[in-house]
Structure 1
Amino acid sequence: MQVNSVDELVSELRQGRMVVLVDDHTEDLNQGVVMLAAEHCDAGHVNFMARKARGLVCLALTEERCRQLDLPPMVDDAIGEKSNFTLSIEAAEGIDTGISAADRAHTIQVAVAPHAQPADIVQPGHIFPLTAVPGGVLTRAGHTEAATDYARLAGLLPAAVIADILTPEGTLAEGQALADFADAHELKIGSIADLIHFRLVNERTIERVREGAIQTAYGEFHLVAYREFNSGDIHLALTRGDIAPDQPTLVRVHAQSALRDLCHSHLDERPSWSMAKCLEAVAASERGVIVLLARDESPERLLDSIDMALGGTPAAVLSQPDIYTSVGLGSQILRDLGVGKIHLMGAPIKYNAISGFDLEVLDFVDP
């Protein structure tokens, strides 16, 4: 897929034009959205997104703006790719039914006004805000974060209107279908991967704070501790062997689980990588890296894990891997350690735009 540069997209957004935003340059499993800086959104743009893109019209906002508007999450302790939805909104005044393109554009302008207040909007409504995580695509390589990052780079409020692009048959457009859509409507295409590259030249959201050799039950590892600027969390990396970008490296980016890691529980029909299994596998390999992210296990997720371990019905929340808010963060750490080609200890899931971090997943290793 031929994509335009970050500078070209920024110029388009600055001039109030829509663009197509895709994950990467690849043609397969590459989903996209049409986006526009929220400040420039009018009824014509909303109508185009609803009739031509066909996806849900959403408003990507920063955490700060969501606090300013007192917008709570749609679901408490949500997990998964769509966990960043807030309650839907409507402008409190100046609209009719709320569903028309003009009404929705008005709601967007009210929400992104410089001095907007909670009283200016009501819930529920016909605009669906999404909260971008702090750090943007360097923390989470998603369309929400990319959209707000691009708007910010254009010198505008970091808020954007986005809509998934669907085919005439109603399925998510991918690869060539996205290129055809952009060509048919004379829209420039940009990628999250290129945006990550662009930001990494001058920005990072982590720093090394400690490192040295440690002894474990599986031998000696090199430990590197990273502090995350936005949250202050400390993340750990354990490495073995000489890490080089051109040499395949066994990798695990690990979110903690009390039952799996401390109690060593497991389900026969659902094998998974515990921390002990990861250490053992890396110790036996020529080179390997384990990244342990400081992500708290919510009470609901822990109870779901307990229910499953006790033979209960698997909860729907566990069907979505808890990876979406950690891809960018884990990728930054892997890039800093010199990792390039990866044998990934994990499920065969699409990881958005990791080529932007100069990473390539060669295959997935079954536990």
Structure 2
Amino acid sequence: MTLDSPLQLIEALRQGRPVVLIDGEEEGGDGMLVQAAEFIDDAALNFFAVEARGLVCLALTEERCVALGLRRMTDSPRGDSLGFMVSIEAAEGISTGISAADRARTVQVAVDPASGPGDLVSPGHIFPLRALPGGVMSRGGHAEAACDLARLAGLQPAALLAGILDEEGENARGDTLRAFALRHGLPIGGIAELIHHRILHEGTIARSAEYRIATRHGSFQVCAYHDAFKDVVHLALVRGEIDPAQPVLVRVQAVETVRDLLAGEPPRGAQQWNLERSLARIAAEGCGVLVLLAQQESAGAILDQLSRGTGPQAPTFPQRTLGVGAQILRDQGVRKMRLMSFPVPYKAVSGFELEVSEFVPFIAPQEA
């Protein structure tokens, strides 16, 4: 599928027009209808509801969610990765709240810089999505991309978005999305291309220092990266010479107390990679990169894992860590990855000029 460039999407949003945004790789990705929130009126809201037909959401930055006093949809310590907040309604100026005019009014109140927590009530008929700081450089999601595109268009970093459904009510993909865009005269672009655009013009991390460290698995080169958005330091432990043309053994993770310090195992299913096992595997092969992402574990997250008697049973937040980890891997010269992980979809990874050549699950050695 031939996609329009990020600049074409940015210009369309600047003019107040909707665009179609695809995640994943070309025809395999889901499509969302996106329009800058500043231009949303009752006609625009009705177009989203009638033509796209998916759940209508409002992408907001984390800063704006805090300013409005929005709460997460779930209190689960591991349930915030999608960024859903409790639904909202304008406190005044609406009737039932469900009409196109009422929902447009709610959107305008939510993005008005003068609005605060008292101007909205919950629950309502607009579903806010919290975009991570750093946008698509942190997570390659629709909410982050929508806010990034609006910001790059010189508008408030907020956008209305809705999933595009096909005639059977399933997520539209490939030719169906292209036909939708052509029918309505809309540009269609991908999150991977937006990531690449931002890499060329912006960055959210910078290599700040390098060291040698001796471990029980031998010596590693440690590169420190300062994260400008979170003001934290991430680390890359590197062994051997990285060849961009060859698949490289890679692990990207945040350090977790139960998994990495207590060596907790899942009660069911396969065992998993942890810090110790990852270092050992890279040392055994003589070449690879282990990226350790800074993460402040909440007390609830640790207690939740301990109550289940284990660390996480599957990759905890692949999309949340994708952007930062991918920037670090790209800086290290990695292009093809032998990813130490369960097989999971890593959407928009090509925007960082990376590809997954192979998933390498952990296989426990056979006991004698």
- Please indicate the TM-score interval, normalised by the length of the shorter structure: over 0.9
CA distance in 1, matches of 2:113, 2:313: 39
**Aligned residue for 1:88?**
87
CA contact (8 A) 2:10 2:150 kept: yes
Counterpart residue type for residue 317 of structure 2:
D
Q: Quick check: 1:80–1:324 contact (8 Å CA) kept in 2? A: no
Q: Write the mapping of 1:123-138 to structure 2, written as runs, cut at 5 A.
A: 123-138=122-137
Where 2:211 maps in the other structure, the secondary structure is strand
Residue 10 of structure 2 aligns with an amino acid whose one-letter code is V
- Looking at structure 2, the residues matched to 203 and 155 of structure 1 have their Cα atoms a distance apart, in angstroms, of 15
Letter in 2 for 1:197: H
* Displacement of 1:48: 2.0
CA contact (8 A) 1:80 1:323 kept: no
Q: Which range moved further: 94-103 or 204-213?
A: 204-213
Who is 2:16 aligned against?
A: 16
What's the offset of the Cα at 1:318?
6.2
- Counterpart in the other structure of 1:5: 5
Partners of 2:301 and 2:68 lie apart in 1 by: 28
SS in 1 for 2:318: coil
**Alignment size in residue pairs:** 361
Partner of 1:140: 139
Alpha-carbon contact 1:10-1:153 (below 8 Å) kept: yes
Give, in angstroms, the shift of residue 257 of structure 1: 2.1
Render the CA deviation track for 1:220-252: whole Å, top value 9, x for unaligned.
Answer: 111111111111111111111111221110000
4+ long deviations beyond 4 Å: 317-320
Corresponding position: 1:60 with 2:62: no
Distance across 1 between alignment mates of 2:24 and 2:17: 21
Q: Which runs of 5+ in 1 are unaligned?
A: none
Pairing 1:240-319 to 2, within 5 Å after superposition: 240-267=239-266, 269-309=269-309
Aligned equivalents of 1:227 and 1:109: distance in 2?
36
Alignment of 1:1-367 (within 5 A): 1-28=1-28, 30-79=29-78, 83-267=82-266, 269-309=269-309, 321-367=316-362
Q: Distance in 2 between matches of 1:290 and 1:184?
A: 46
Query: Shift of residue 306 of structure 1?
Result: 1.9
* Matched AA of 1:345: M
Separation of aligned partners in 1, 2:67 and 2:305: 35
Question: Distance between the aligned counterparts of 1:289 and 1:40, measured in 2?
Answer: 45
TM-score by length of 2: 0.93
Distance in 1, Cα, partners of 2:178 & 2:62: 32
Structure 2: stretches of 5+ with no match in the other structure = 363-368
Backbone CA RMSD of aligned residues: 1.9
**1:2–1:25 contact (8 Å) kept in structure 2:** no
What's the secondary structure of 1:171's corresponding residue?
coil
Q: Identify if the C-alpha distance between structure 1 residues 177 and 199 changes in structure 2 by more than 3 Å, giving closer, same or farther.
A: same
- Residues in 2 aligned to 1:360 and 1:319: alpha-carbon distance in whole angstroms: 21
1:34-61, Cα deviation, whole Å (9 max, x unpaired): 0000000112222222222121111111
Cα distance in 2 between the residues matched to 1:31 and 1:38: 21
Structure 1 pair 114–302 and aligned structure 2 pair: CA distance change class (3 A): closer
